[in-house]
Structure 1
């Protein structure tokens, strides 16, 4: 039994649906559970439009389980193909709000590193090109800064595994609650202070 949709629908038309994923919920099902935002959203569409048969809903991108924010689904195969192409080509801009530990000095900067996904499901960061590591680029701007924490808006230029989490930790400012990358304490529900706030295309 699929539970009612736990995210908020913020945009809907004949081609797309954008849903805010809460922390703790998978974007798509894995081997251990079939409870996911994809299934909840598909079930909501079936009930809302009284569609008894299975319907198409294309997954365009993903958020980590402990990350919240906007997830975009395609309602047609044509929309899925076009959006997937845009994501691959980097023409869809992704923005995140992040609470990083510590006080960052530069108001606006770009980080370029090389990330390698490990079998431990963690990313290793290298300052220079390294075999099997992929070039990873992001920019951030400080919105508000205190002595112990900084609120940032992050723009991804590439979309690597755990990219924001790993790069921020590498420069000494892990994301609040992200104990996997060096934060000292968890947040409730294993959430981390990383929110996918905007997609521009």
Structure 2
């Protein structure tokens, strides 16, 4: 990402990708929960609320609406709403699929097709916080749909770089669906235990989030490139920049 981008100081420091009176877009650091959970660890939502309170010297509670989520080990672009009106309108944009999200992931092996779409029924076990693929019609199961495209492969490492577009937003969706086709994500300790070693960081990144501004209707584009460390560094940084530019221009790279 742009090294000159404005940053939120403190621990952890994070880049501000977009901010006005209605919205706050940031680059979520890895290994921080999006919102408060049973771990009791500092969460992104409250960290950002505290930052807004300090930066703008706001008395009392600060409103910040959670529009979408990223799993704890996942980093990248996220948008939050600073007003209830913006939160309501962004929630409607998500429901009406007028809210685009593009992810990049490094997976083990090579997907059976270089480009494809996956549709599964997923069921979440709240007790274990795990998700599994179940037969269609299973009580509590929800349909999950995504498209993917292989952007590159590393034969030596037996890894592939894939672009993923979500059409539904189910918990752990990318991780579960890619594992289901025999290509679990690099570093995923929940859905790729036979492939990954303890301590490896999951290679899933929110590259792009785009939507019409809830108030002005202007297009808002958030871009966050993954860190240039293994396994992301197996591919040149230009791969991520070109993909981000493509999706910003209205293309998705999934048509050819």
The alignment's TM-score, normalised by the length of structure 1, stands at 0.90
Say if 2:146 and 2:166, in contact at 8 Å, map to a contact too.
yes
Provide the residue aligned with 1:123 in structure 2.
Answer: 131
Q: 1:187 to 1:196 in 2, by over 3 A?
A: farther
- Residue by residue over 1:131-186, the C-alpha shift from the partner in whole angstroms, topping out at 9 and shown as x without a partner, is 32111100011111122011011000001111000000000000000121024224
Distance in structure 2 (CA, Å) of the matches to 1:115 and 1:23:
25
Q: Quick one: distance in 1 between partners of 2:113 and 2:62?
A: 48
Report the Cα distance in structure 1 between the residues aligned to 2:112 and 2:181, rounded to whole angstroms: 12
The structure with higher relative contact order (CA 8 Å, sep 6+) is: 1
CA contact (8 A) 1:96 1:196 kept: yes
Show CA shifts across 1:94-143 (max 9, x none). 11010010022422111111111123211111364433211110001111
- 1:1-201 aligned at under 5 Å gives the runs 4-33=11-40, 35-118=42-125, 119-126=127-134, 128-147=136-155, 148-183=158-193, 184-186=195-197, 188=199, 191-201=201-211
Residues 187 and 17 of structure 1: CA distance in aligned 2, closer, same or farther (over 3 Å): farther
Of the structure 1 ranges 159-168 and 35-44, higher mean CA displacement relative to structure 2 is found in 35-44
Unaligned runs of 5+ in 2: 1-9, 212-256
| C-alpha contact (below 8 Å) 2:111/2:182 kept by paired residues | no
Alignment check: 8 A CA contact 2:189 2:198 kept: no
- How far 1:49 moved relative to its partner? 1.7
Residues 111 and 181 of structure 2 are in contact (CA less than 8 Å); yes or no, is this contact kept in structure 1?
no
Which is worse superposed, 55-64 or 125-134?
125-134
Q: In the TM superposition, what is the alpha-carbon distance from 1:7 to its structure 2 partner?
A: 2.2
| Off by >6 Å, runs of 4+ in structure 1 | none
Q: What value does the CA root-mean-square deviation take over the aligned residues?
A: 1.8
Cα drift, residue 187 of structure 1: 6.6
Task: Give the TM-score, by structure 2 length.
Answer: 0.72
Aligned residues: 198
Structure 1: tracts of 5 or more residues without a match? none
Whole-angstrom CA distance in 2 between matches of 1:32 and 1:168: 27
Q: Is the 1:5–1:40 Cα contact (8 Å) retained in structure 2?
A: no
SS at match of 1:145: strand
